[in-house]
Copies of this chain bind each other. A is one copy, B any other.
């Protein structure tokens, strides 16, 4: 399991790696222990406080966007947001100090999220309103999985990701087919319905085709002519059958992913993993399992 994860799941690795590779000394080790690990009481307290800070800061951004609340508590919320921003900036700098390879951390998934979580505040000094983007902080909550030791949850996420990754070629082919249909149906509806009925350009027709094929069906633009309604009916019934394809793909890959997950034994001969549950011999070297 170690091998492949080191290769392609870059979001948990980097923050843990430094301690494996070059043991940091003195202050950095102490910082690393508190900020990145959650085994010690101090480390756990830090992580729990961080999660609450994240939740509260996202809530503050949300509340600020509601006009009546902004009118009454606007000043307090702005102050709270800046307090959180300063705290998170401090934390980001400390994280950079705590790892032996700051650049590696800065380029990792969590490093980028940590940066994005503070940038909008500074941007909002020049472009008022940009602070709404602070909600990206919600992504920081992904750390909760490590804090709460929800390793089994992470395992499940791994299975989901494996299934999605394995489905990618099929889903790409599928999305290509869907997009081609959208372009063509959007153009046909633009010709058939025309600007009078809301289909005032091909891109607008494509927007309608996506709304229809995905069965969202807002109803802001709808066919009015008999021909348009007939074409829409065909598109809807087609979308009905098409909807089955990604579901089928993910089901099959998920079944495969969880099947492989059920037999956790490694081959005693060659150490290979991922055998089927009904396998009697290793499928790579033939050793009896």
Q: A interface vs B, CB < 8 Å? A: 58, 61-62, 65-67, 129-130, 132-133, 135-136, 138-139, 141-142, 152-153, 155-157, 159-160, 163-164, 169-176, 178, 180, 183-184, 186-188, 190-191, 195, 200-204, 206-207, 210-220, 222, 226, 229-230, 232-233, 236-237, 239-241, 243-256, 258, 275-276, 278-288
Contact = CB atoms under 8 A, between A and B. Distances in A.
25 contacts: A65-B190, A65-B201, A66-B201, A138-B183, A153-B172, A156-B172, A160-B170, A160-B245, A207-B230, A210-B233, A214-B240, A216-B236, A240-B243, A241-B246, A243-B243, A247-B251, A248-B252, A248-B253, A251-B251, A251-B254, A255-B255, A278-B284, A280-B284, A281-B282, A281-B286
A202 B65 contact: yes
Contacts of A230: 207
Given A156-B169, A164-B245, 20 more contacts: A58-B183, A62-B201, A129-B191, A130-B191, A132-B190, A135-B183, A141-B176, A141-B180, A178-B237, A203-B226, A210-B237, A211-B232, A215-B216, A216-B216, A219-B219, A244-B247, A247-B250, A248-B255, A252-B258, A281-B282
Contact of A184 (B135, B187, B217, B219): B135
Nearest to A239: B214
B215 A218 contact: no
A187 B133 contact: yes
Given A217-B211, A248-B250, A202 B283 contact: no
Nearest to A130: B191
A280 B281 contact: no
- The residue among A142, A206, A244 with the most chain B CB atoms within 10 A of its own CB is A244
- The residue among A159, A248, A285 with the most chain B CB atoms within 10 A of its own CB is A248
B283 A187 contact: no
A187 B244 contact: no
Contacts of A173: 153, 156-157, 160
Contacts of A135: 183-184, 186-187, 202
A176 B141 CA distance: 9
A203 B69 CA distance: 12
A248 B245 contact: no
Contacts of A220: 219, 222
Contacts of A240: 178, 213-214, 243, 246
Nearest to A187: B135
Contact of A236 (B180, B214, B237, B285): B214
B249 A252 contact: no
